[in-house]
Every structure is written in structure tokens, then in C-alpha cells.
Amino acid sequence: MSAAAILLAAGLGTRMKSRLPKALHPLAGRPMLNHLIAACEGVFDRVVVVVGPDMPALEAAAHPHATVVQAERLGTGHAALQAFPLLAGFDGDVAVLYADNPLITPDTLKRLRAARDNAGLALLAMRPADPARYGRVLQNAAGDVTRIVEFAEANEEERAVGLCNAGVLCAPAEKLFGWLRQVRNDNRAGEYYLPDVVPLAVADGDRVTAVEAPEAELRGINSRVELAAAEAEIQARLRRQAMEQGATLIQPDSVVFSYDTTLGRDVTVQPNVVFGPGVTVEDGVEIRAFSHLEGCVVREGALVGPYARLRPGTDVGPRAHIGNFVELKNAQVAEGAKANHLSYIGDASIGAGSNIGAGTITCNYDGFAKHRTEIGAGVFVGSHTTLVAPIALGDGSMTAAGSVLTRDVAADAMAFARARPAEKPGAAAAFRAARRKEKN
């Protein structure tokens, strides 16, 4: 049977104290909403995102999935009902989820769908360490859900129940939208609440079942503190995944991953390494401490760091060495090339086996446009060479230390571009004497 997911993302996130919609706050380099969309895409055939008015960035993040605007924020039940026009005539199951529950896994969503096959309504529940603020899921002797009671309205016996509502539910489309139309707003806030469909389902004689999942997956994010806790959870998942797939993390808790970081086998990552979005590291690479990588590829057997920065567009070739305090941006480094110390290589290509001396700079920006530096194979670039792009160094060429080069260098040539040394005997002593006289 086909199934659709409605993702509620209209909340402003007042407690986040931010101009950014809550659902766009990032976890592991990706907005919360997109984490949830990714989990849903492997489980549901259709995804509809409910956004608030004037949220173009949220609509863009949801693309290519359909969005609908909740013009008035009248509660979660009202928000879910806004998706009806986009799902009119849909005869499969519909699940309703919250964008601020971004850590739900596809496996949990599959269990939710499977549970719905044997019940009129299935919901997700958890047993949190501190259940105080959650609604309690009340069950009969057979384990079927009878109702959900909010903490503020629960008596002592009900508050002692450890099973708590996570808010996510799944039901046949026709029944769900029918129940949503019956939900009333006779409460203190005057809003229509999604959990109120549970007693309506029970009243209709439909069996309601609860699917338990870990609190780490189901807890909501409403503040920066909770965002930090969710970040810690997703980082723990990513670290474990990397190690299970064959990478060594010397000090796992100090390594920061992005949602899409890919590490090959026998990769070693030393402490305090940060992976931004878009990084692929092939087998046998060593990333040394305090390095930062984003939008780059590091090929098999390469060595990076410590204190290296690899920026977007960089491709480090097999067995290449990128050393301490070296920054690469949109640079392609061929097999076995080395830049071991204190260099900036931007908008450049470095041929196989070339050596970049300490302090080398590619001057790639003239204030208006970026220009490339092309360094051939087997080139030796002397320390403190400044390469003013556009410029090309031919295969096997060399540059003298301290040179400032503005013209191409032919293959196997040696380039010098620095002032001729001059010495004036006694000039330093005379200078100091003059300065002392001025002070007196």
C-alpha cells in the first residue's frame, strides 16, 4: 500500500531566539527539516511539508517536495489538515511528523507503517529519562492505546505512567482527515491538537497501537540547548558508523562529522578534526589533528595535516602530502605531490611528484576575478615563492626561494625573480647612532 508523510514545519521556534525558522537550524551541516525528509524518502511515496506564511527559505529547503502554507497557526491538528487539498483522493496511509523531530530513523518509520497494518491508528511513543513534560500514553490490559493525557491534566496515577507520546502518528488517509475535521479547540490555547484524534479513533472502534522507539530519536528540539543535545546524538551516530565501516578515530568525541561525510577503510582520523559538508576520504588516508575539511576529496593513501585546511573544490591525489598550516581552495593536487608547510594554494593544479616549498602563495585574486595557477609534474617550488596568477610552471621546472613570479616558466627551466643582494658596510651602526642622537 502507498503511503504519504505530512511534515509539520510551520513553527517559528520562539524559544530558539532566532530569525531563522526552527526547521532550518542545522544538525551535522544539514537543516533539521532535511534530515526528516531524508528519513521519510525511503519509507513514504509522497512527502508534503506544511510551512508558515512568508517562509520562502523553508519552501526552498523542502523542494522538490510539495509545500502548503498554514496561514494561521491554530495548532498541530489544524496544520496537518492543511495538507488535505494536496492529498485529496489519496487512498493510502498518511503519517504526520514534526520537523523538530529530525532524528527519527527510517527503521522506526517502517515499524510505524507495519504496526498500522494491524490497527486503525499507530503512533510513536517513548520512555524518556525525564517524562515530566510529555503527554502520557494510556493503554488497556491488551496493550491498546485508549487515550493520551497531557501532563498538566494528568492525575498522580497517570503521571506515573512511563510511556510518553512522541506526537507522530499514522492512519488511513480518509480516516485521518475525517478525525482531524472533528478535532475541537475547546482548550486554554484555543488550538486544534493532533493527539486529539486518538480518542476519536477509539470512539469509532478503531484499534490504536503504540510503537516504542528510543528517546534519542523522538525527543523534540525547541531550544538551543536541545539543539546541542541533538547534535551530540547525531555526531555519536556518525562516529559509530564511521568506525563500524573501517575507519579509526583516535579520539572519537573530538571529531566532528557532517551528515554526508564518507570515510573509506583504514582511514585514520586524529583528534580535533572537523568535516564540513561534501567530504569524501578514500582508503588508507591519514587526517592529522586540528585539520578542517569541506567540499573536497582526499584520494587513497594521502596524508593531510596537522592544522591543514581543505576548502571546496579541492582534490588531493593518491599519496599526496598536505602538511601543517597549508590551505587549499579549488586546488587539484596530483599523485605524490607535496605541500608540507605554511602555504596557500588557491585555484591551482599541482602535477604529480611536485614539491611546494614552505610559504608559497598562489595570488589568485586581482580584486575583480579569480585566476588559475598551473604547476606541472616534477616541479620544485622554492620556499616563499609568490606565483601571481594566471601563471604556468612547466614540467620539471624550479623556482628560486623568495621569488615573485608573474610570467610562465618553461619546462626544466629555473626561474629567479628577486632583488640582487646589496651590502653597505657599517650602515647598521650608523643608523642606530643617528636614532640615538635624535632621541637625545
Question: Which DSSP letter does residue 45 get?
Answer: S
Helix, coil or strand: residue 435: helix
Annotated catalytic residue within 65, 292, 341, 371 = 341
C-alpha cell at 26: 542545522
Task: Classify burial at 109, counting beta carbons within 10 Å of its beta carbon; exposed 0-12, middle 13-18, buried 19 or more.
Answer: buried
The full DSSP string for 175-216 is HHHHHHHH----STT----GGGHHHHHHHTT--EEEEE--HH
- Do residues 176 and 167 touch, judged by C-beta distance below 8 A? no
- Cβ atoms 7, 98 nearer than 8 A: yes
DSSP E strand boundaries for 321-415: 321-324, 327-333, 338-341, 344-350, 355-356, 361-363, 373-375, 380-381, 386-388, 391-393, 398-399, 404-405, 414-415
**φ, ψ dihedrals at 19, nearest 5°:** -75, -15
- Check: CB of residue 46 under 8 Å from CB of residue 26: no
Please say if 35 is a catalytic residue.
no
Pick from 22, 210, 232: which is nearest to 108 by CA?
210
Please, what is the angle between helix 106-116 and helix 32-41, to 10°? Answer: 50
Residue 102: count other Cβ atoms within 10 Å of its Cβ: 28
Question: Which grid coordinates belong to 134?
Answer: 510529555
Pairing mode of beta strands 414-415, 398-399: parallel
**Residues 6 or more apart whose Cβ sits within 8 Å of residue 324:** 305, 306, 307, 308, 340, 341, 342
- 122 and 209 in contact (C-beta within 8 Å)? yes
Taking a C-beta distance cutoff of 8 angstroms, is the pair 90, 3 a contact?
no
φ, ψ at 240 (rounded to 5°)? -60, -45
Report the catalytic residues: 341
